[in-house]
Amino acid sequence: MRPALPALLLGAVFIALSPIFVRLSEAGPTATAFWRVALALPVLWFFFRGPLRGPKLLFVAAGIAFAGDLAFWHQSIRFTSVANSTLLANLASIFVTLAAWVFLGQKPSALFLAGLAAALAGVAMLVTTSLEFSSSGLAGDALGVVTAMFYAGYILAVKALRDRGEAALRLMAVTSTLTALILLPVALASGEVMLPQSAYGWLVLLGLALISHAAGQGLIAYALAHLPATFSSVGLLLQPVIAAYFAWVLLAEPLVPLQIAGGLVVLAGIYLARRGS
């Protein structure tokens, strides 16, 4: 368990850097999402071992869901604050339980419903701060919620594959490849800037791909396999907090009292919802 805990925390830090890389990218948001996975593929496939162990359709579903997650989240980061977009994307765990309720008839507990109510109250506080600071903030917050829906779909597909014995790194390699294949035509059709204009721009994309995607996701996948689920879910709640701190220090993005309070309420709601799932 000892190496797993540092892996979880370091993975959370690496993933928390991803919205910073997105903000600094010289490419468009969808193009940045494409390069995020495409540049990580050589590393992921280098560690690929053994045959696939799940239905191909589940891999396709995971790739589509992850492509939607990245595309909408990168757009959200451009329109609203890093703190808001990251916090709202973490509502995915709530959508997972709601999907199980709607499609599988798994009635949620009272604790989950209390967490859901708290999370929605926190979201209302975050949206209020967005309306006060930016005309595009509300659109960015809405995209953050859509991100959470796609991420919930990705979580469900990945869980189904993991339950069938699929290894985390094989799963990352295949889903990242599918995600890149989906995002490339979308980015080209959008008319966004596809290529960075400088060596600095390429370094930003490499940092996003290798630090946030390959290393961050890989460390968390390792940690989740060796830590209790409840402890891991609480530890991962550090990610939006760290992201907000990085945005404050590196991007001079202010945090107002109502936004801080709303963020804490959202985190508390997510925590309660996870405990009650």
DSSP per-residue codes, the chain:
-TTHHHHHHHHHHHHHTHHHHHHH-SS-HHHHHHHHHHTTHHHHHHT--S---S-HHHHHHHHHHHHHHHHHHHHHHHHS-HHHHHHHHTTHHHHHHHHHHHHH--PPPHHHHHHHHHHHHHHHHHHHHHHHH-TTHHHHHHHHHHHHHHHHHHHHHHHHHHHTT--HHHHHHHHHHHHHHHHHHHHHHHT---S-SSHHHHHHHHIIIIIIIIIIHHHHHHHHTTS-HHHHHHHHTHHHHHHHHHHHHHS-----HHHHHHHHHHHHHHHHHHHT-
User: For residues 90 and 102, what is the distance between their CA atoms, to the nearest angstrom?
Assistant: 20
Alpha-carbon distance 126 to 63, whole Å? 30
pLDDT digits (tens, 9 = 90+) for 174-191: 999 999 999 999 999 999
Taking alpha carbons only, the member of 64, 236, 234 closest to residue 158 is 64
Question: Whole-angstrom Cα distance, residue 227 to residue 224?
Answer: 5
Domain limits at 133? Answer: 4-275
Q: What is the pTM for the complete model shown?
A: 0.86
What amino acid is encoded at 164 in this protein? R
Give residue for tokens 């053994």.
50
Q: Which residues of the chain have pLDDT under 70?
A: 1-2, 131-133, 225, 227-236, 276-277
pLDDT tens readout for residues 135-173: 777 888 899 999 989 988 888 888 888 888 888 888 889
The radius of gyration of the chain's CA atoms, rounded to the nearest angstrom, is 18
User: Which residues, 6 or more positions from 11, have their beta carbon under 8 angstroms from its beta carbon?
Assistant: 215, 216, 217, 218, 219, 220, 222, 223
pLDDT at site 195: 95
CA 207 to chain centre: 16
Q: What is the pLDDT of residue 6?
A: 84
**How many structural domains compose the chain?**
1
